[in-house]
Copies of this chain bind each other. A is one copy, B any other.
Amino acid sequence: MDSESLRRIAVVLSRPSHPGNIGAAARAMKTMGFTDLVLVAPRHFPDPDASAMAAGAAGLLGEARVCTSLDAALADRLLAVGFSARGRDLSHPAQSLRDAAASIVDAASQGNVALVFGNETSGLSNQELSRCQRLVCVPANPLYSSLNLAAAVQVACYELATCAGAFAPPPSRPVEPATRDDVEGLLAHLESSALAAGFLDPAKPGRFMERLRRLFARAGLEREEVKLLRGLMGAWDARKKGK
């Protein structure tokens, strides 16, 4: 799937108290390619704190839909996933975010999905959870499992975007690995240079060459690095001869 399906996954914040968290959640969503923010009965919105925390996601925040009830927010959703820090007695069995990710992404390929987050202090009420078909938790420190609301949104969006393979890691500079001949040439140069310097005793070579061979194998030398090392040894050799 491409990142297009992420647009069918709404983040629904139910009864958020702090407008700063709304803005931070909008920013978190945008970094992971999500676009649809829904606010159910926010205490303060719009609000300058929300705009300040949204940073470059002001547009997403400006397009947020505001609903008076969770039922209204979920009306057009095939699947609503409730996020909770703890399991509930009378609800669906909780799944970890990682275990649930693939099936949530799959549902988004078929229709609209909602990720539902509760109030900062009280979380989702049992009534709110009853409107969700699935219950997901972010496994956390049992001694302190209180993720900030926007942090929970960030983790959820990261997990789903990663599961969906939405964004590739930035390409890195292509490197030219050293060939076998490059490495053998370097080893031969090192050996002759070590002999000439009197560091290596031809009668008792020990495991010197074996150790260097293992080190270079582990390092995965690049062609440019081999050139650099041979240049350095060449300068040493010349200096010794000059003495």
Report whether B56 and A169 are in contact in the complex, using a CB–CB cutoff of 8 Å: no
Report whether B140 and A167 are in contact in the complex, using a CB–CB cutoff of 8 Å: yes
Write the residues of chain A forming the contact surface with B, with a CB cutoff of 8 angstroms: 3, 24, 27-28, 30-33, 55-57, 85-96, 98-99, 137-142, 144-148, 150-151, 154-155, 158-159, 161-162, 166-173, 175
Report whether A170 and B98 are in contact in the complex, using a CB–CB cutoff of 8 Å: no
Q: A162-B139, A170-B87 are in contact. Are A144 and B30 (CB under 8 A)?
A: yes
Report whether A98 and B162 are in contact in the complex, using a CB–CB cutoff of 8 Å: yes
A96 / chain B contacts, CB cutoff of 8 Å: 162, 169
**Cα distance A99–B94 when bound, in Å?**
26
Q: A31-B151, A154-B155 are in contact. List 10 more A-B contacts (CB 8 A).
A: A30-B141, A30-B144, A55-B146, A55-B148, A85-B170, A87-B169, A87-B172, A137-B169, A137-B170, A148-B150
A87 / chain B contacts, CB cutoff of 8 Å: 169-173
Among A31, A85, A93, chain B packs the most CB atoms within 10 A around the CB of A31
**A140 — nearest CB in chain B belongs to which residue?**
B31
Report whether B155 and A158 are in contact in the complex, using a CB–CB cutoff of 8 Å: yes
Q: A142-B167, A167-B141 are in contact. Are A89 and B173 (CB under 8 A)?
A: yes
**Cα distance A166–B87 when bound, in Å?**
17
Report whether B27 and A148 are in contact in the complex, using a CB–CB cutoff of 8 Å: yes
Among A56, A162, A171, chain B packs the most CB atoms within 10 A around the CB of A162
A95 / chain B contacts, CB cutoff of 8 Å: 169
A99 / chain B contacts, CB cutoff of 8 Å: 169
A158 / chain B contacts, CB cutoff of 8 Å: 138, 155, 158-159
A28 / chain B contacts, CB cutoff of 8 Å: 147-148, 151
A175 / chain B contacts, CB cutoff of 8 Å: 93
**Cα distance A141–B85 when bound, in Å?**
27
Q: How far is the CB of A137 from chain B (nearest CB, A)?
A: 5
**Cα distance A145–B173 when bound, in Å?**
20
- Looking at the complex, which one of B139, B150, B159 makes contact with A161 (CB distance below 8 Å)? B139
A138 / chain B contacts, CB cutoff of 8 Å: 158
- Looking at the complex, which one of B139, B154, B167 makes contact with A151 (CB distance below 8 Å)? B154
Report whether B170 and A86 are in contact in the complex, using a CB–CB cutoff of 8 Å: yes
Q: A86-B170, A87-B170, A139-B162 are in contact. Are A144 and B57 (CB under 8 A)?
A: yes
